[in-house]
Amino acid sequence: MHTVSRPLRWGMVGGGEGAFIGEVHRWAACLDGHYQLVAAALSSDPERNRRSGMQLNIDRLYDDYHHMAQQESEREDGIQVVSIVTPNHLHADIAITFLRQGIHVICDKPMTATMEQALELKQVAESSPAAFLLTHNYSAYPLVREARHLIAQGRLGKIRSVQVNYVQDWLTADLERQGNKQAGWRTDKSQAGAGGCLGDIGTHAYQLACFMINAQADTVLADLSCWGEGRILDDEANVLIRFNNGAKGHLWATQVAPGNENNLSIEIYGDQGGLRWQQENPNELELSLFGEPTQRLTRGAGYLSDSAKSVTRTPGGHPEGYLEAFANLYREFSDCLNQQQSDSLLPDIYDGLQGVAFVYAAVNSASRGNVWTSLNEFMQTANT
């Protein structure tokens, strides 16, 4: 049985009416009872903020996040942690504001809209006593943890090849021209940042690959497309990757592939074996040792590692899904904050930096005619 402490006092910025990811964060935080939502600035539109606050029974509602950070830090019962679920361009300033008040930050991805913001945020985070969690939720599925464990143990041998695909279809239609708010900001460079599909889902796919093989990209070569009429940000990307452990890879991200909802999948091959995992059927992991029958590992099974078991709630065959994985991040972060756990697999500021550098390198590769481009080039800029 999971030991229950007093819940953390928790705040939220963004996530008002009609937002998708804000509600996901609330479910994820709620599932284990480790967080209690007591303060929020749910929308920059005062009327929408007010309406959303009433629906959610928020005790302390703020129109402005600066104000919120200030006041909460002064209260004895002020929030201990805040979640940021706004469009990308606001992440950096909000995170910096709360970190400077010593309030822990849970931030949606991509970490920031620009590399400059990412580097500034990194500096602030490094000098703050408060902790930072980036919600790359897919890395918290039990069988994703198992995959990382199997690879770390050398079960696949030396890793040679990675294929990771993140395939959606919702932007096949030009929703941003039909008033869809979710599509609107994601296709708007001033809010989304340099990458469209790259930032929105490509960063997830990239993080998933890096997480599983415990490596990062040295260089990428990207071919980007803007299929939707009038779009200036990519809605499809094919990215060749060279990892710093010698592996090569290909990442395909698209939001215009009819028949795909949230089809994130990955295949990894080494000189001894391979594995395959699909987010839409997350309770199975295929493991192939060369020359042997492929095995179907299932979440909840006794033969899995502690790494998988520690993020497993229900027995095998009782499917866990997206919210449970998301909730794992919340639970592990609260455990960290309560110092019950030290050696964490949680995505942090450096994963965020990687993600933004990945977007930058891919966009630059494409604009320069699809040439190999180093991620370091972008991450070191601010150090000069």
Residue numbers 119-158 binding a second copy by CB under 8 A: 156
How far is 21 from 40, CA to CA, in rounded Å? Answer: 15
Q: In this structure, what is the dihedral angle of CA atoms 363, 368, 373, 378, given to the nearest 10 degrees?
A: -60
Token output for 104:
């822990």
Of residues 97 and 139, the one with the C-beta less far from a second copy: 139
Q: Is residue 225 at the binding interface for a second copy, with CB under 8 A as the rule?
A: yes
Minimum distance between the CB of residue 73 and a second copy, rounded to whole angstroms? Answer: 26
The residues in 305-324 that bind a second copy, with binding defined as CB under 8 A, are 313-324
Helices (H), 56-101: 65-74, 88-100
* CB atoms inside a 10 Å sphere around CB 343: 5
**Which residues lie closer than 8 Å to 362 by C-beta, 6 or more apart?**
195, 198, 202, 220, 222, 224, 237, 239, 373
Q: Which of 212, 213, 221, 349 binds a second copy (CB under 8 A)?
A: 221
Residue of the chain from 50, 60, 181, 276 that contacts a second copy (CB under 8 A): 276
Cα(76)–Cα(323) distance, integer angstroms: 31
Are the C-beta atoms of residues 134 and 109 closer than 8 Å to each other?
A: yes
Quick one: which segment of 16-24, 84-92, 96-104, 113-121 binds a second copy (CB under 8 A)? 16-24
- Indicate if the alpha-carbon torsion angle 227, 229, 235, 237 is positive or negative: positive
Query: Using CA atoms, how far apart are residues 250 and 155, in angstroms rounded to an integer?
Result: 22
Q: How far is the CB of 102 from a second copy (least distance, A)?
A: 26
Q: Exposure of 276 by Cβ count < 10 A (0-12 exposed, 13-18 middle, 19+ buried)?
A: middle
Within 227-266, the residues that bind a second copy by CB under 8 A are 227, 236, 238, 240, 248, 250, 252, 254, 256-263
Q: Report whether the peptide linkage leading into residue 7 is cis, meaning its omega lies within 30 degrees of zero.
A: no
Any contact of residue 76 with a second copy (CB under 8 A)? Answer: no
Name residues contacting a second copy, limited to 56-75 (CB under 8 A): 56-57
Among the listed residues 12, 24, 68, 192, the single contact to a second copy using CB under 8 A:
24
Q: Does 197 bind a second copy (CB under 8 A)?
A: no
Binding footprint of a second copy, residue count (CB under 8 A): 96
Which of 178, 303, 339, 383 lies at the binding interface for a second copy (CB under 8 A)? 303
Task: Give the nearer residue to a second copy in terms of CB position, either 185 or 372.
Answer: 372
Binding mask 326-345 for a second copy (x = CB under 8 A): --------------------
Quote the least distance from Cβ 229 to a second copy, whole Å.
Answer: 10
CA distance 336 to 303: 27
Q: Given the rule CB under 8 A, which of 50-58, 203-211, 342-350, 353-361 is the region that contacts a second copy?
A: 50-58
Residue 300 interacts with a second copy (CB under 8 A): yes or no? yes
| 184 counts as binding a second copy under rule CB under 8 A | no
Structure tokens at 305: 């590692």
Q: Return d(Cα 274, Cα 150) in angstroms, integer.
A: 10
Per-residue binder mask for a second copy (CB under 8 A), 279-298, x = binder: xxxxx--xxxxxxxxxxxxx
